[in-house]
Amino acid sequence: MVSIERNPTRAVQVGSITVGANNPIAAQSMTATHTQDVEATLEQVNALHAAGAGVIRIAVDSKKDAAALPSIRSQTEANLAIDLQENYRLAADVAEHVDKLRYNPGHLYHHETEKPWQEKVKFIAGVAGDHDCAMRVGVNCGSVDPAKKEQFDEDDSIGPMLASALEHCELLDSIGFTRYVVSLKDSDPQKVIEVNQRFAEQRPDVPLHLGVTEAGMPPDGVIKTRIAFEQLISRGIGDTVRVSLTVPNVRKPEEIEAAQGILADIAIGRVRSVVDFGLDTLNIISCPSCSRVENEAFIELAEEVKQMTAYAKDHAITIAVMGCRVNGPGETDDADLGLWCGPTHVNLKKGSEPIGAFPYDAIIPRLREELDRIINERGDVAGTVAGV
């Protein structure tokens, strides 16, 4: 075993486990079923729990989703966290049935736009305190607080995330709510490493949940995540983790297995001494399957994109495949080509500019055209010819 001096984070109880304060690092995951489908959601919750998940997150987008929670809660011993998505007021409907509430600072602007975000956070914290819930402040690169984004250069994605997280910590501390953790996620493992290191330097007391968002399909998604986890956990940073993989619903426990494998390797010192993710090669990012996905064809599409683009593997091009309309539009902005999926069509973008919406059975050839165009624009015709 390798001796790793963990950051002196405070203890935060989440149901039956305690994170932070040198407690074992817990592996988490998120259900990919529609929450209103109690049977399917419960089956997945219990499968993840059996695989060793310390906390399982469920998305709640509506009153109907919230109404499903009492039944789910009554039939599982898993520690449950709720992703409040865009409606912060749903906290009041779900808190008594779960162990943790998660909100995204960037999503607080979508409802009651005239109300200051500070009031909304105080509401969530009040509900959490009344119902013995922990909280997570989940900062995500693709849906960062717009007010913070305006304060930084356009090419600085880390600055707004860090500033937002620190500001929310300051507010929660000021109202006496300290039972919270923070996550700062990006699809680029190097940015995940940097932003979490910078946060930990300023707030070593706050437990951190680590993850590479939209890591993609295995094995690439596991490799990306491993890079970030190795570099952070070996420095004592990180109290809970998630490996976000694009896999079918029945394979969701693989996220827990991957996380446990990475943690076990780090514990015995079986890590990379130098981080080299091959930034000069093709990079496909895709989000984990979750209950926000409106068409499960997204999973097959992600695999088709990976197979089709193999001919361009030596080109430094990023393609993002997102499964929903909640995070998809924003989280594809930084990719050379982005796809975000709706119920019947896939929206194709080049950078932040939309190209159009295409049926699932027509998107791959259209993506190929745009990929070839980018390769040619960069003056390398060989890549196109190789794929013919």
pLDDT in tens, 147-186: 888 899 988 999 999 999 999 999 999 999 999 999 999 9
> Sign of the C-alpha dihedral, residues 222, 224, 227, 233?
negative
* Predicted local distance difference test score (pLDDT) of residue 1: 59
Instruction: List the one residue out of 72, 179, 163 whose CA is nearest residue 124.
Output: 179
Q: What is the pLDDT of residues 193-222, one digit of tens each?
A: 999 999 999 999 999 999 998 888 898 899
* Predicted local distance difference test score (pLDDT) of residue 278: 45
Which CATH superfamily, name and number, covers 293-386? Answer: Sulfite Reductase Hemoprotein, domain 1 (3.30.413.10)
Q: What is the pTM of this model?
A: 0.79
* Predicted local distance difference test score (pLDDT) of residue 359: 94
* Predicted local distance difference test score (pLDDT) of residue 285: 77
Q: What are the angstrom distances between the C-alpha of 76 and each of 33, 36, 43, 118, 264?
A: 16, 16, 9, 34, 27
* Predicted local distance difference test score (pLDDT) of residue 173: 98
Instruction: List the one residue out of 355, 264, 369, 374 whose CA is nearest residue 308.
Output: 369
So what's the architecture of 12-267 in CATH? Alpha-Beta Barrel (3.20)
> Sign of the C-alpha dihedral, residues 155, 286, 271, 254?
positive
Greatest Cα pair distance, the chain, in angstroms, is: 63
* Predicted local distance difference test score (pLDDT) of residue 385: 38
* Predicted local distance difference test score (pLDDT) of residue 324: 78
* Predicted local distance difference test score (pLDDT) of residue 383: 41
* Predicted local distance difference test score (pLDDT) of residue 332: 75
- What are the respective helix, strand and coil percentages of the chain, to the nearest 5? 45, 20, 40
Q: Are the CB atoms for 309 and 321 separated by under 8 Å?
A: no
Q: What percent of the chain has pLDDT over 90?
A: 70
d(CA 354, CA 359): 15
d(CA 257, CA 242): 10
Please count the residues of the chain. Answer: 388
The segment(s) of the chain belonging to CATH 3.30.413.10 are 293-386
Q: Are the CB atoms for 46 and 19 separated by under 8 Å?
A: no
* Predicted local distance difference test score (pLDDT) of residue 387: 39
d(CA 18, CA 79): 11
Point out the residues of the chain with pLDDT beneath 50.
Answer: 273-278, 381-388
The segment(s) of the chain belonging to CATH 3.20.20.20 are 12-267
